[in-house]
Structure 1
Amino acid sequence: MIPEEDRPASWLRGYGGIEADIRRLREFADKLQAEVERNYAPHLSYIAEDMKAPVPNPADAFIELVNFLRAHHETQQATADMVWGVRDTTGHLAVAASTVANSYTQSDAFSSARVADVERALANPAAATPRGPSPVLRDPTSPETGPMSGPVVLP
């Protein structure tokens, strides 16, 4: 017996299945891939340049500023990772949708497609190759030396 909290919502109980139109799935895959390639990926270089703008090291004695810039850097790096991840993950979703559409093009889509096939397509790590890592941003509070940096000595 399945516990009540693990059962589907009451309005979903007894529903037999979900129908999908494979032609529409193919259309979705193509449009999603085109959207990523034409309208998302080309802008990533501009975002990277903006995020790499040098920030001078803070004064060591101003510990609040040092802590703020450290937190800002961590947040900015996490944001860059997410923005670049969206490109690869969306591309992966488009390739998975395309894989499922190709598998069922010649069949009766309303009776042949299985959830396991969709899950297998989404789980395939080779479905979409990542196109490069997100930029690594310089931490203005790090002890690295360079044109706009000098070691920050924390009290």
Structure 2
Amino acid sequence: MIPEEDQPAPWLRGYGGIEADIRQLREFADRLAAEVESNYAPHLSYIADDMSAQVPNPCDAFIELVTFLHAHHETQQATTDMVYAVRGATGHLAAAADRVATQYADSDAFSAARAVDVQRALADPGAVLPGGRTPMLTDPTGPESQRPVVLP
């Protein structure tokens, strides 16, 4: 009998099981990791350079510009965080697929693999590709800004 956690959703129970080819899972993991490392990660430094372009520190009397530049900085930082997070999340998926493929490489995966093993692999925070840190951008309107104030 199949344990309840490995059963499909109740509305899918009549459709049968999901079959996975472990060799293809291994190939998927390898290709996904290679794609991230060779075609995504090398471009992150260019994005960081573009996002960290120097912006003048506005005069506090021009409150609309100060507010705009502060909102612009927050949006830039959030965008940079997301762009860098894609690498980690995609690497995490590749590492989890690799872990499941390795675990079931020498077994009959159609009968041995369990849904809980896949869930554990995806939940493992250590299953990631090595990556860089998200750069912290400088707020031109903040107190740490060392640039001179531009008067209107």
Band the TM-score falls in, shorter-chain normalisation: 0.7 to 0.9
Equivalent position amino acid for 2:128 in 1: A
Are 1:137 and 2:137 counterparts?
Answer: yes
- Structure 1 contact 143–150 (Cα < 8 Å) conserved: no
Percent identical residues: 68
Post-superposition Cα deviations, 1:63-109, rounded to whole Å, max 9, x if no partner, equal 11111111111111011111111111111110110000011111122
Q: How does 1:1-40 map to 2 (within 5 A)?
A: 10=11, 12-40=12-40
For structure 1, the residue ranges without an aligned partner over 5 or more in a row are 1-7
- Per the alignment, residue 4 of structure 2 pairs with none
- Per the alignment, residue 109 of structure 1 pairs with 109
CA RMSD of aligned residues (A): 2.0
- Per the alignment, residue 99 of structure 1 pairs with 99
Equivalent position amino acid for 2:117 in 1: D
3-state secondary structure, aligned to 1:131: coil
For structure 2, the residue ranges without an aligned partner over 5 or more in a row are 1-8
3-state secondary structure, aligned to 2:15: coil
Cα distance in 2 between the residues matched to 1:52 and 1:116:
43
Q: Number of paired residues? A: 143
Query: What is the deviation of 1:13?
Result: 4.3
Query: What is the deviation of 1:129?
Result: 5.4
Query: What is the deviation of 1:120?
Result: 0.8
Post-superposition Cα deviations, 1:122-152, rounded to whole Å, max 9, x if no partner, equal 1111112552320000101112242x34499
TM-score by length of 1: 0.84
TM-score by length of 2: 0.85
- Per the alignment, residue 3 of structure 1 pairs with none
- Per the alignment, residue 59 of structure 1 pairs with 59
- Per the alignment, residue 128 of structure 1 pairs with 128
Cα distance in 1 between the residues matched to 2:128 and 2:46:
23
